[in-house]
Amino acid sequence: MFLGVSASQCNSPYPKSDEGKSILYTTFVEEPKHLDPAMSYSTDESVLMCQVVEPPLQYHFLKRPYELEPLTAEAIPQATERRVMFGGKAVDATVYTVRLKKGIVYQDHPCFVEGNRRLTRGDVRDVQSVWDIKAMGTRELVSGDYANGIRRLSDPRLACPILSTLAQNMLGMGEYAKMLEGKLDGEREARRRAGGVLYNQEKDEKYNPIRLDYGEGAEGFPFVREVDRYTFEVVLQRPYPQILYWMGMAFFGPVPPEAMEFFGQGAILEKSIVFDRNPVGTGAYVLWEFDPTNQIVFRRNGNFREERYPDLPKPKADDAEAVARYEEVKGVGMLEDVGRRLPMIDTVVLRMEKETIPRWNKFMQGYYDYETTENKVADFFDEAVSLNSKGDMVLSEAMASRGIGMMSSYPASMSYYAFNMNDGVWGGCTTEKRKLRQAVSMAFDTEERIGVFFNGRGVPAQGPLAPGIFGYETGEQGVNGKVFRWDAARGRAVRRSLEEAKKLLAEAGYPGGYGADGRPLTIQYITAANRAGSQALLDFFKKQFTKLNIRLDIEVSDYNRFRDRVDKGNFQFLDWGWVADYPDPENFLFLLYGPNGKVATGGENVANYRSAAFDELFVKMRAMANTPERLEVIRKAVEVLREDSPWIFGENMEVLVLAHSWYRNPYPNGVAYNTWKYRRIDVEKRREYLRRENRPLWWPLAALGAVLAASSLPGLRVAVRHFRET
């Protein structure tokens, strides 16, 4: 009976019933913490959330640079200036009017059945997940769902990570948040009085949460307003074009009030069924199974509207860069499915795979459809990629022979190394302090780090912007002249010499690495790199400073203590990174805006850098459209940063995607997360690969069978017994 098992099933981690179905198999590494639109912020959470929850806008799947397009909205909303009432008086405001497409409906869900919002313990005795409740319904998406979701961001219980940013720009949002806090405080005080001295607030609210009607009293706070069933307005205190990018994120997703009512029931909460693990939306997929220690499963949303795979218009012949990009997209087959209805995959299965080796082995066997260097596939880099005669990365013959393809992209992210500008040694913008930071920036060889630790996947950053972001420039125009020089003969930037760095160090008051007091310059570097294998990286850091005879005092701690020291400014030097919320230069340059100082305001400016010249340029730039005038302002702002050098500009990393031939449309998108709907699986190609690459080795069993059969002979029984006894 065992010998009759199909070859493709011998090692398969999936049930035989799934064979031949349109299923995408992939992995996750860490348990997602939040799947609530108000709280979900990390990339791994967004990948899950955005398959279900749809904000008004999305990014075009194929266009580069990244471009927003309507998702549930009819069109990209345009800004209008007008006066609105707030606080009893008319004030100037910038208003974006969002008009929704009609006929969009939610996934089938129990929350849309009125009786399911009045459940008792007896009703849910055998319920383990929302799908155990058989009565389900749906309804149309309306503007009130978006207004409810946006107002809900102000709920202090949710600690929305972008509330402070939005409240700085949306008219009345901060005041609305204070009103909600007052309501909560009032209800909690009433419950305490009613409950007496033994009242336990945490225990009470765990299964009997305070229900807030986010619409009650909202008319006095105009930051979001319902106009009619399909129209709502977002009202800003001042021009803030970046609000459109927020409209492309799950934070601006709709939240049906029925879901809040359903998941707020004590009977449901006692079963540990919470909204934070059960998003409700109109997206292409439904979260069907959520076991964050083992497996997460999404199924096609049967109510999903008609949406088609996008086309990429052919650019004008005189735009050489756009033509080359178009030909690349077309050449790798990304336009073969133009016009096909989405989604093209029925089910997505994600398996927990913490360890690199089994994940890679299963990918090679064909049990996972793609891999990415973000999942530490770089550990197998030599097996996957080789360098050609020009030094360019190409897919290895071993991969190509298996039909595996490779695509690369530069995500909207960057790494950097921050000097604490509040520190007595590094801080300040005197000529000497600038030269000190510039000297270290010259000596710190980011090219070496890219080569040694990232297998050459990346380029040294020349400023604070990532590739693909407006204002990021290549060639001679984009070179950081304080650290590099342009080599016209080789057509690339070359790091300035160590001798130049040592000269600057001496001019800064530290000749040979010694101060005026004769003591060696010693710098404190704090890090949370306390995992096995981190020592090589720490040795690299120490080596960079040793070049200038600067001593690096490395202090390794756990992540919580590390963050506490960063928050308090108790450090001299650290390495950091940023993944953009949206592809706009404002979302990078704000990391060095003075009012965002980490110590002063708790903002993201961990260097605590403050420059009147830069701040003025930043404020001017952030409200501008992407015009040549804005580009010129960005250039001036970046040049101020290069001169002051509050950071060592680190690395712009390249991400590689390795995909099997049956995994279609694997085009990387560094800012969009709702991309599963564009993928397609060629089921027959996968079946053929699995059978070819996972052929069972029957000869050991055959040999064992022969031995067992032969051992039944009298002479051999004696020999076998003798072998066992000896």
**What confidence tier does 538 reach under pLDDT thresholds 50, 70, 90?**
very high
With 0-12 / 13-18 / 19 or more C-beta atoms within 10 angstroms meaning exposed / middle / buried, residue 499 is exposed
Of 626, 653, 680, the last residue of a domain is 653
pLDDT at 409 over 90: no
Q: How far is CA 87 from the centre of its chain?
A: 38
Same domain, 713 and 593: no
| Per-residue model confidence as pLDDT tens digits over 93-132 | 999 999 999 999 999 999 999 999 999 999 999 999 999 9
Q: What whole-number distance in Å separates Cα of residue 364 and Cα of residue 399? A: 9
pLDDT at 138 over 90: yes
pLDDT at 376: 59
**What confidence tier does 3 reach under pLDDT thresholds 50, 70, 90?**
very low
The secondary structure of 498-509 as a DSSP string is HHHHHHHHHHTT
Q: What is the mean pLDDT of residues 62-90?
A: 95
Please tell me the least confidently modeled range out of 119-123, 252-256, 571-575, 623-627: 623-627
Q: Could you tell me which residue, 684 or 456, shows the higher pLDDT? A: 684
Q: Could you tell me which residue, 704 or 397, shows the higher pLDDT? A: 397
Same domain, 127 and 261: yes
Which tokens is 687 given?
Answer: 């079946």
**CA nearest to 404, candidates 428, 433, 427, 370:** 370
Of 250, 274, 298, the last residue of a domain is 274
Same domain, 639 and 700: no
**CA nearest to 234, candidates 82, 99, 77, 95:** 95
Which tokens is 720 given?
Answer: 């076998």
pLDDT at 672: 93
Asked if 233 and 97 count as a contact pair (C-beta separation under 8 A), the reply is: yes
Q: What whole-number distance in Å separates Cα of residue 229 and Cα of residue 598? A: 42
Give me the domain span that covers residue 707: 696-726
Q: What whole-number distance in Å separates Cα of residue 227 and Cα of residue 233? A: 7
Same domain, 465 and 579: yes
Q: What is the pTM of this model?
A: 0.88
Same domain, 558 and 706: no
Q: What whole-number distance in Å separates Cα of residue 470 and Cα of residue 483? A: 22
DSSP state of 109: B
Q: What whole-number distance in Å separates Cα of residue 219 and Cα of residue 88? A: 12
552 bridge partner residues: 523
Q: What is the mean pLDDT of residues 18-37?
A: 93
Q: What is the mean pLDDT of residues 455-481?
A: 93
Q: Is residue 342 included in any domain, yes or no?
A: no
Same domain, 609 and 726: no
pLDDT at 38 over 90: yes
Same domain, 629 and 705: no
pLDDT at 351 over 90: yes
Q: What whole-number distance in Å separates Cα of residue 530 and Cα of residue 511? A: 33
Same domain, 565 and 710: no
pLDDT at 408: 86
Q: What is the mean pLDDT of residues 541-552?
A: 96
Which tokens is 726 given?
Answer: 């000896």
Same domain, 471 and 608: yes
Pairing of strands 224-228, 573-579: unpaired
Question: What's at 295, amino acid-wise?
Answer: Q
Q: Is residue 63 included in any domain, yes or no?
A: yes
Tell me what the pLDDT averaged over the chain comes to: 91
Q: Is residue 313 included in any domain, yes or no?
A: no
Domain count, the chain: 3
pLDDT at 212 over 90: yes
Q: Is residue 373 included in any domain, yes or no?
A: no
Q: What is the mean pLDDT of residues 628-640?
A: 98
Of 256, 274, 292, the last residue of a domain is 274
- The CATH number of residue 464's host domain is 3.10.105.10
Same domain, 460 and 516: yes
| Per-residue model confidence as pLDDT tens digits over 642-655 | 999 999 999 999 88
Same domain, 570 and 708: no
What Å distances lie between residue 511 and 315, 430, 508, 677, CA to CA? 56, 18, 8, 60
pLDDT at 240 over 50: yes
pLDDT at 6: 46
Q: Is residue 509 included in any domain, yes or no?
A: yes
Asked if 301 and 358 count as a contact pair (C-beta separation under 8 A), the reply is: no
**What confidence tier does 726 reach under pLDDT thresholds 50, 70, 90?**
very low
**What confidence tier does 531 reach under pLDDT thresholds 50, 70, 90?**
confident
Q: Could you tell me which residue, 408 or 83, shows the higher pLDDT? A: 83
DSSP state of 549: T
**What confidence tier does 378 reach under pLDDT thresholds 50, 70, 90?**
low
Q: What is the mean pLDDT of residues 307-330?
A: 92
pLDDT at 655: 87
Q: What whole-number distance in Å separates Cα of residue 682 and Cα of residue 21? A: 10
Exposure string for 561-599, b = 16+ CB within 10 A, e = fewer:
ebeebbeebebbbbbbebebbbbbbbbbbbbbbbebbbb
- The CATH number of residue 105's host domain is 3.90.76.10
Q: Is residue 42 included in any domain, yes or no?
A: yes
pLDDT at 712: 56
What Å distances lie between residue 126 and 108, 118, 132, 569, CA to CA? 20, 16, 8, 52
Q: What is the mean pLDDT of residues 343-369?
A: 94
pLDDT at 578: 93
Q: Is residue 252 included in any domain, yes or no?
A: yes
pLDDT at 416 over 80: yes
Q: Is residue 22 included in any domain, yes or no?
A: no
Same domain, 704 and 633: no
